[in-house]
Amino acid sequence: MLQNNHRIYLSPPHMGEREKMYINEAFETNWIAPLGPNVDGFENDIISFTGTGGAVALSSGTAAIHLALILLGVEKGDKVFCSSLTFVASANPILYQGAVPVFIDSEPETWNMSPKALERALREAADDGKLPKAVIVVHLYGQSAKMDELISICNYYSVPIVEDSAESLGSTYKGKASGTLGKFGIFSFNGNKIITTSGGGMLISDDLVLLQRARFLATQARDQAAYYQHSQRGYNYRLSNILAGIGRAQMELIEERVFSRRTIYEKYEKGLGTLPGVYFIKELENTRSNRWLTAITINEKETGVHVSQVLRALEEENIEARPVWKPLHLQPLFNESKYYAHGEDVSARLFQSGICLPSGSSLRDEEQLRVINCIYKTLKEPYITEKVAK
Ligand SMILES: *Cc1c(COP(=O)(O)O)cnc(C)c1O
C-alpha cells in the first residue's frame, strides 16, 4: 500500500510484463554475454521504429556519442560545437578525444540550439580557418530543435551533425524520427529515460560502413587474425545480451510510454497553464515531442516566487523535482570554453527559472494532483497573504 505522502520520483524506470521473458530466454540458452539474439533483436526494433539505416547497441548513450565523434575523425585539438543547455554527457566525449568544446546557446522557443548563435559561431570559425569537426545538437526533454535551420547552416559549412536524442526517442520532426536527421543519432536507455535497459545506448546512422566500424571499435578493435591482434585503439562499449532483452520488451511499449508522458504534460498544462508567470515549452509546428519531462519556467517578477521556493515546497511534500540542466558554459569544468549566446543568454535564464516536474509514465493521477496542488498553492499563497494583509 502506498502512503499518502509516499515519495514521487521524477522519472523512475517503468517495467512491463515481458522483460523477464526475454531475460529468461537468454538464461535458458546461456546467452548471457557478450552479444546474441537480444542485441540483434533490439537493434532491429530501433531500426524499424525510427526508419534509420542501421543501429549499434552500446553500453551507454555517452559511449554512442564518443564513437560518433571518433567516426567523424575528431582528434586532439579539433573543435566540436555542442548545445550548452544539456546534461554533461553530451560534451564529455569531446574531452575524451582531447578536442575543444565550443558551446552554443538555446533559442527561447524550443530551448534547443539557437540557429542564430550557431551561424555566428560557424562564420567566425570559418574566418579563423578552423571549422568544427562536428556539431552536437540536443533535443532537450523530448522537444526537437529547429532542425531545418540548423541543418541548412551546417550544410553550408559542410559540418556533420550528431543528434543527441538521448531524451527524445519517440519524438518526430516533420514526420521523421528524432535521431535520423543528422549524420549520426544517439539514444540512451539509462534508468531515467523514456525506456530503459537499466543502462545502455544506441548509435544510429544511414552510413552502414561507419556503423560497421563502430562495432569493430566497440569490441576492442580486433584485427582479422587467428590470434588477438590490434592495430588501433578500441573500446569495450557493447551492450550485453541480458540488458538488450529488457530493451526489446521496453520497445514493445514505446508508443504507450510516449502517450502516457504526453498525457501527463497535458494535465500539467491544464492544471498550471492558466497561472500568470508559468510557461510551458510549446511544440513546434509539425513536430511531436515525447514529453520525456514536463519542464516549465516560473517568472519571478510575474509570480513573486522564485523557482527555488517551488523546488523547496515540492521537496517538503516528498516530491522529487529538479532544476533545468545547468548550462555547460557555466560549469567549472568548462570555464575556459568559448560560448556563443543567442543575444540575451537564453540558457542561463532558463536555468534560473526552469523546473522539471515528475513525468514518469507510471505516475498516477492522484500523484500528479499532489504535484499540481503543491505548485498551485506555492504560487497562489503570496497573493492570498497579500490580500489578507490588506
Ligand atoms: C542521459 C543523457 C545522455 C547520456 O546517456 P547515458 O546513457 O546515461 O550515457 C546524453 N545526453 C543527454 C542529453 C542525456 O539526457
pLDDT at 315: 97
Q: Is 190 in the pocket of ligand 1 (CB under 6 A)?
A: yes
Residue 60 CA to ligand 1 centre (angstroms):
8
What is the 378 CA–ligand 1 centroid distance (Å)? 32
| 93 Cβ below 6 A of ligand 1 | no
pLDDT tens, position by position, 138-189:
999 999 999 999 999 999 999 999 999 999 999 999 999 999 999 999 999 9
What mean pLDDT comes out for the span 27-53? 92
Centre of ligand 1 to C-alpha 314, Å, is: 25
pLDDT band at 389 (very low <50, low <70, confident <90, very high): very low
Q: Spell out the domains of the chain, with CATH numbers in brackets.
A: 18-251 (3.40.640.10), 254-378 (3.90.1150.10)
**Strand-pair partners of 82:** 103, 136
pLDDT at 385: 45
Evaluate: CB of 142 within 6 angstroms of ligand 1: no
Query: Binning pLDDT at 50, 70 and 90, where does residue 98 land?
Result: very high
Which of 65, 83, 88, 90 has most ligand 1 atoms within 8 Å of its beta carbon, as the pocket-test mutant? 90
Query: What's the chain's average pLDDT?
Result: 95
Q: How far apart are CA 46 and CA 41, in angstroms?
A: 9
pTM of the entire structure? 0.95
Q: What is the mean pLDDT of residues 110-122?
A: 98
Question: H-helix or E-strand containing 81?
Answer: strand 79-83
Rounded to whole angstroms, the Cα distance separating 75 from 69 reads 9
Query: Given a cut of 80, is residue 288 above it in pLDDT?
Result: yes
User: What is the pLDDT at residue 1?
Assistant: 58
3-class SS of residue 43: helix
Neighbour-count burial of 173, counting CB atoms closer than 10 A to its CB (0-12 exposed, 13-18 middle, 19+ buried): buried
Is 201 a pocket residue for ligand 1 (Cβ < 6 Å)?
Answer: yes
Inform me whether the pLDDT recorded for 284 exceeds 80: yes
Distance CA 183, CA 165 (A): 13
| Cβ of 162 below 6 Å from ligand 1 | no
pLDDT digits (tens, 9 = 90+) for 203-237: 999 999 999 999 999 999 999 999 999 999 999 99
Strands (E), 96-254: 100-104, 134-138, 161-164, 172-173, 176-177, 184-188, 201-205
Mutation probe of ligand 1 site: the residue of 11, 56, 62 with most atoms within 8 A of C-beta: 62
